[in-house]
Amino acid sequence: MLDLLSRLIAPILAAASLSLAGSAGAQTPPTVVLVHGAWADGSSWETVIPYLHRAGLRVVAVQNPLSSLEADVANVNRVIADQPGDVVLVGHSYGGVVISEAGNSPGVKGLVYVTAFAPGPNQGVNSILSGFPPPVWFPLLHADAGGWVTWPAEAMATYFSAGLPPELQTVLAATQHPTFFKVNDDTIGAVPAWTHHPTTYVVATQDQIIPPPLQQAFAQAIGATVVPVDGGHLVMLAQPEAVAAAIIAAVERVD
């Protein structure tokens, strides 16, 4: 199945590379700014980045503190302002909340949500989830004395990194970025960036963190182009070619 998927996607990536290279003489292609989610850092995009580079794109993966939404947005805004031209913002999971606010920065031309929260006006993760029963994995999370939350290794492998090789799951558990518990209480402003930018939503069909029906609801609410990909919550590690192809297509729509 993976071999078939690779053969199907390879021509798309090759054609995108030629298209972007052909337009590079006229103007600088947009920079892709990758925004990680909770319990992660910029390395969560490491398998996607080579495909974007092969397509001729400039790529920056941010390193957010995960201490507050305000701090994370400020960090992404700093990265956006430092780019030489336009930006396409890509957010995974909680990173979708970040790009929904940071996407209002000048120079941002498009948004890609990768199995991500897509809040409405004045919403955050907890306000979105308040109408649903607590997820089954929620009691398994560990909070230290300072309020920084992490996953126990076994629970992370069962839910958060489900479907990935055991060796990689072990590494992800050991290197996870602690996330301050109040980030999920923080909310974006009254004007989500998706209201005035073209958007793409990558739906992970096997996700156990953000259920696929909720992802579909997000995508419909924000009017996104939907790209379903077979994988769990860390779909960019499970299916990097497919996620990269969705990002490249999003760049071409705004370039």
pLDDT, tens digit (0-9, with 9 covering 90-100), for 109-164: 999 999 999 999 999 999 999 989 999 999 999 999 999 999 999 999 999 999 99
**pTM for this model (two decimals):** 0.90
Is residue 23's pLDDT more than 90?
no
DSSP SS3 for 45 = helix
Burial class (CB in 10 A: 0-12, 13-18, 19+), 200: buried
Residue pair 185/209 in contact by the 8 Å Cβ criterion: no
Q: What is the pLDDT of residue 255?
A: 72
Q: How far apart are CA 64 and CA 186, in angstroms?
A: 15
Q: How far apart are CA 78 and CA 202, in angstroms?
A: 26
CATH placement of domain 2-254: 3.40.50.1820
Beta-carbon contacts of residue 26 (< 8 Å; ≥ 6 apart): none
Element (H, E) at 167: helix 166-175
User: Residue 15 — very low, low, confident or very high, per pLDDT cuts 50/70/90?
Assistant: very low
Q: What is the pLDDT of residue 9?
A: 54
User: Residue 27 — very low, low, confident or very high, per pLDDT cuts 50/70/90?
Assistant: confident
244-203-38 Cα angle (round to 5): 80
Q: What is the pLDDT of residue 21?
A: 46
Mean pLDDT confidence for 188-203: 98
Q: What is the pLDDT of residues 40-55, one digit of tens each?
A: 999 999 999 999 999 9
Q: Residue 12 corresponds to which tokens in the numbers above?
A: 């798309």
Nearest partner of 215 among 93, 97, 95, 33, judged by Cα: 93
More confident: 3 or 33: 33
Phi/psi of residue 228, nearest 5 degrees: -80, 135
Q: What is the pLDDT of residues 52-88, one digit of tens each?
A: 999 999 999 999 999 999 999 999 999 999 999 999 9
Q: What is the pLDDT of residues 161-188, one digit of tens each?
A: 999 999 999 999 999 999 999 999 999 9
User: Residue 20 — very low, low, confident or very high, per pLDDT cuts 50/70/90?
Assistant: low
Q: What is the pLDDT of residue 197?
A: 97
Strands (E) across the chain are located at 31-35, 59-61, 87-92, 108-114, 142-143, 148-150, 179-180, 199-204, 225-229
Q: How far apart are CA 2 and CA 44, in angstroms?
A: 20
Across the strands, what pairs with 108? 87
Q: How far apart are CA 225 and CA 232, in angstroms?
A: 20
Rounded mean pLDDT of the chain?
A: 92
